Amino acid sequence: MTEVPGGTAPLAAKLRVDIDPELLALALTHRSYAYEHGGIPHNERLEFLGDSVLGQAVTVMLFTSHPDLSEGQLAKRRASVVSTVALAEVARGIGLGAHLLLGRGEEQTGGRDKDSILADTMEAVFGATYLSAGSESATELVLRLTAPLLEDPERYGAAMDPKTSLQELAARIGAAPPTYSVSASGPDHERRFTATVTVGDVSMTGDGTSKKTAEMAGALSVWRALSERA
């Protein structure tokens, strides 16, 4: 079995599910690591499965828990919970980044804290849980980890629209509006964007496959730092 940093047991304990160690190790294996190690299997198939597990669990929960919401409102809430920035926040909450298997390039460019990698890996973990422990356990895990995004209205709003939430927070604390600086790297077919977002003396970066997602990721990081300070 591929050796995961720190082993799979500490992460499994945080997840509180009975998950097969080999499947969990696979869920943590990024394609960059697989490529550098002779093309071993990586987590993208599990990510595909986990995306469906996540979507179904959140959809059913929202439908049954909010009979007063319209289809459009339900869709908006679901989109916020399954978004890259929201899933990355969930991943950070369980320290997922420390256990990732990354290639040298991703390791050197901060891959352990990239929203896109964390979100994709989180979905892969949901897929591995489904295969190891079944649908009920996978659904329970999804709802337990994503619950804070729905229970805390401000946090939920920030995950759904971090740029607007950050602008409103900046105004509330008397700071200047956020500023955004975006850079791009990589070939055209695999472009990566990094946004530096600044409010006052707080400056954070966000990563994404588009300028918009990078800015959203950076805005959420700054919003979180300012909220904790407040």
Strands (E), the chain: 179-185, 192-199, 202-208
DSSP SS3 for 205: strand
* 51: annotated active-site residue: yes
Choose, from 123, 161, 207, 215, the residue flagged as catalytic: 123
Q: How is residue 18 annotated by DSSP? A: -
Q: Does residue 120 have a known ligand-binding role?
A: yes
Choose, from 51, 89, 106, 115, the residue flagged as catalytic: 51
- Taking the C-alpha atoms of 217, 221, 223 and 228 in order, what is their torsion angle to the nearest 10 degrees? 160
**Angstrom distance (rounded) from CA 219 to CA 51:** 24
Q: Does residue 47 have a known ligand-binding role?
A: yes
* 154: annotated active-site residue: no
Q: Does residue 123 have a known ligand-binding role?
A: yes
Cβ neighbours of residue 170 under 8 Å, at least 6 residues apart?
A: 176, 177, 178, 199, 200, 226
Q: Any idea which residues carry the catalytic annotation?
A: 51, 123
Q: Annotated binding residues for Mg(2+), as ranges? A: 47, 120, 123
